[in-house]
Amino acid sequence: MTDQIDPTGGMRTGPDDPDVTRLINMPLFPLRTVLFPGGTLPLRIFEPRYVDMVRWCMRESRAFGVVLLEDGSDVLDVKDADDQSKAPQIYDVGTEAHIIDFDQADNGLLGIVARGGEKFSVLRTSVEADGLVRADVRSLHEPANPLPDSYETLTNVLKDLLSHPLIKELDPQVDLSEDRSVSHRLSDLLPVAPELKQWLLEMSNPSERLSELQEIIKQLSS
């Protein structure tokens, strides 16, 4: 496998190429939420560093990365022994987020809607003066294949979830004939803990994720 540096700092669009790994630097938004490829994430932003990050992303047509904060690490302004800001405790796999809509509320909050792009692994992090975390990340390719008929039950569960009015408003992307897409949307929409969603996100094989989702749904239904 080869590494290809994207000089623009953004993951390239176009056909997936499993033989090319894209290495980029991007700002991170640590949250207690897991974003999956094709998922929709509405956010209300008030902290200056993230307002500036969003403006930069929109001006440069760039994505930011969403990573899961470890439980108990929700305080982002952590200092080291030298009183320097240090990165919060985050998981090593996240998803790039593309801003697809925004609005400025009367109360001054900046509202955005982001769409999940490609998965990535965090190689190293740094913290800027305002506390914003940036990271060098490597894109993670995940294969996609036709969804086997044996997962019809999962498809029916997903259809029920997608029919909910609140989910319809989010308009998540899904291809019901593709194993990767179905596994991502089910993982995204099922009411399970963030750590479990993170475990599902980190799986590199849709078939493995679908098998685990079958067991999770059995447990939720019991």
User: Model confidence over 37-46: pLDDT tens digits?
Assistant: 999 999 999 9
Confidence of residue 2 (pLDDT cuts 50, 70, 90): very low
Instruction: Assign domain 149-221 one CATH number from 1.20.58, 1.10.357, 1.10.3470, 1.10.286.
Output: 1.20.58
Calculate what percentage of the chain has a pLDDT beyond 90: 76
Residue 15 has pLDDT above 80, yes or no: no
pLDDT the model gives residue 222: 80
The tens digit of pLDDT for each residue in 110-157 reads 999 999 999 999 999 999 999 999 999 999 999 999 999 999 999 999
* Strand-pair partners of 44: 111
32 contacts: CB under 8 Å, gap ≥ 6? 68, 69, 71, 74, 194
**What is the residue whose two structure tokens read 């993170």?**
198
pLDDT the model gives residue 12: 41
Contact 25, 62 (CB under 8 A): no
CA atoms within 13 A on the CB side of 213: 32
Residue type present at position 213: L
pLDDT the model gives residue 152: 95
Calculate what percentage of the chain has a pLDDT beyond 70: 84
Domain segments of the chain as ranges: 2-140, 149-221
The tens digit of pLDDT for each residue in 62-115 reads 999 999 999 765 545 555 555 556 678 999 999 999 999 999 877 778 999 999
Is pTM beyond 0.95? Reply is no
Residue 134: both structure tokens together:
């940036």
Would you identify the CATH topology of the domain 2-140? 2.30.130
The Cβ of residue 191 has, within 10 Å, a number of other Cβ atoms equal to 6
Fill in the DSSP letter of residue 150: G
Residue 7 has pLDDT above 70, yes or no: no
d(CA 143, CA 205) in angstroms, rounded, equals 7
